Amino acid sequence: MSTDRSSQTGVVSSWWSTLDRDWKSVVIGAMIVGLVSVLDLQIPW
């Protein structure tokens, strides 16, 4: 079980390291939009 999780983390980590900075910023933006629109996360200012 823990081996599965660490191999999944490894896959995500190696996929992330292959992305260039521009695409990483698109992924981060999409994650924030997902959190705000799907989970209705409210971000304070």
Partner 1 sequence: MRIRRLLPGLAALCLGAVLARSLASSVGVNHLLVAIALGAIVANVADVPDDLEPGIATHKLWLSAGIVLMGASISVGTVLEVGGRVFLVVIAVASVTLVVVELLARNVFGLAERLGSLLAAGASICGVSAVVAVAGTVRAREAQVAYAAATVLLFDAITIAVYPIVGDLLDLSSTVFGVWAGVSMFSTGPVVAVGFAHSEVAGQWATMTKLSRNALIGVVVLAYASYYARTGDGDTPSVRTLWAEFPKFVVGFLALAALSSLGLFSAAQQTSIEHAYNWLFLLAFVGLGTEIQLGDLRQTGLVPAFVVLLSLLVASTLSLLLLLVLF
**Smallest gap, in angstroms, from Cβ of residue 21 to partner 1?**
6
* 8 A C-beta contact, residue 19 and residue 27: yes
**Smallest gap, in angstroms, from Cβ of residue 36 to partner 1?**
5
Q: Return the SS3 of 1.
A: coil
Q: Which is nearer to partner 1, 1 or 38 (CB)?
A: 38
Q: List interacting residues with partner 1 (CB under 8 A).
A: 13, 17, 20-26, 28-30, 32-33, 36-37, 40-45
Report how far residue 6's alpha carbon sits from residue 28's, in angstroms, rounded to the nearest whole number.
22
